[in-house]
């Protein structure tokens, strides 16, 4: 009985020590591990391989805990157009893509060119095609004003974006939300905006919370988990039979 307990404790201590030694997040190492060890073409295997890597290495991906909360939202919203700000190595992109309806499309934005290339390769390894997603390699502030034309050029036009995942720079959450509103990119009949909370201070999200309070006519906080806040945007009421939009 004690041998099992001691072995478990040793295993945990080893993982903890490895994480401590490998403090820096290495995008190439994450990509290399996932590329080599996952089953190509299987999104779930890609996610499991990321999780396995994260047991012994520091990683920036949302991981399985926040991932499951994200899955619940995607299943509920069933979004046709999704925008992700902060793709990194593609973990959350793969999580999103695997639950989209057949006509669903993802636009994902990553500032760092090397990370963007490696992340895009992981999405392809997971079995998704360029007809389902597009990676924009630039800052969110540069990407947002171009989104309408990106959607049009891919013939992905619809009522707007119905799910936004923000996991990039918390200082950009409010300016990017305002830019999305200004560019009329958020679906007027309803858009869920997910804000990932990592080691953010209360101040980081205060601006966005104040904005939601000031614009109570079109925003509400739907859920507020420890690691993720879901805000809901709606300017148009939707009738049950969808024929009388106010």
Ligand X SMILES: C[S@@+](CC[C@H](N)C(=O)[O-])C[C@H]1O[C@@H](n2cnc3c(N)ncnc32)[C@H](O)[C@@H]1O
Contact set with ligand X (CB under 6 A): 60-62, 85-86, 88-89, 91-92, 109-112, 115, 139-140, 167-169, 172
Residue with smaller CB distance to ligand X, 80 or 111: 111
Residue with smaller CB distance to ligand X, 77 or 96: 96
CB of 167 to ligand X, least distance (A): 4
The torsion angles phi and psi of 146, rounded to 5 degrees, stand at -95, -5
Residue with smaller CB distance to ligand X, 51 or 159: 51
Task: Write the DSSP string, 51-111.
Answer: HHHHTTS---S-HHHHHHHHHHHHHHH--SEEEEE--TTSHHHHHHHTTS-TT-EEEEEES
CB of 118 to ligand X, least distance (A): 10
CB of 216 to ligand X, least distance (A): 28
CB of 72 to ligand X, least distance (A): 16
Residue with smaller CB distance to ligand X, 44 or 239: 44
Across the strands, what pairs with 84? Answer: 108, 165
CA distance 33 to 12: 21
Q: Which residue is nearest to ligand X (CB)?
A: 86
The three-state secondary structure class of 163 is strand
Residue with smaller CB distance to ligand X, 49 or 61: 61
Is 82 in contact with 96 (CB distance < 8 Å)?
yes
Report CA-CA distances (Å) from 231 to 102, 108, 126.
Answer: 25, 19, 29
CB of 54 to ligand X, least distance (A): 10
């Amino acid at each position: 009985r004690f041998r099992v307990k001691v072995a478990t404790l040793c295993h945990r201590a080893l993982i903890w020590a490895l994480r401590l030694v490998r403090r820096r997040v290495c995008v190439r190492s994450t990509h290399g591990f996932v590329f080599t060890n996952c089953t190509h073409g299987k999104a779930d295997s890609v996610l499991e391989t990321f999780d396995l890597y994260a047991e012994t290495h520091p990683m920036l991906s949302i991981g399985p805990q926040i991932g499951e909360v994200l899955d619940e939202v995607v299943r509920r919203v069933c979004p046709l157009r999704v925008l992700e700000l902060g793709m990194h190595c593609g973990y959350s992109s793969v999580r999103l893509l695997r639950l989209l309806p057949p006509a669903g499309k993802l636009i994902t934005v990553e500032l760092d060119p090397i990370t963007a290339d490696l992340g895009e390769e992981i999405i392809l390894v997971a079995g998704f095609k360029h007809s389902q997603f597009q990676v924009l390699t630039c800052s969110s502030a540069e990407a947002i004003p171009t989104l309408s034309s990106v959607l049009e050029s891919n013939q992905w036009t619809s009522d707007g974006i119905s799910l936004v995942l923000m996991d990039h720079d918390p200082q950009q959450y409010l300016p990017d939300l305002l830019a999305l509103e200004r560019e009329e990119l958020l679906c007027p009949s309803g858009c869920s905006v997910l804000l990932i909370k990592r080691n953010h201070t209360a101040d980081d999200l205060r601006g966005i919370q104040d904005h939601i309070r000031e614009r109570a006519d079109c925003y509400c906080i739907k859920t507020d988990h420890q690691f993720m806040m879901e805000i809901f945007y709606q300017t148009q009421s939707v009738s049950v039979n969808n024929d009388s939009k106010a």
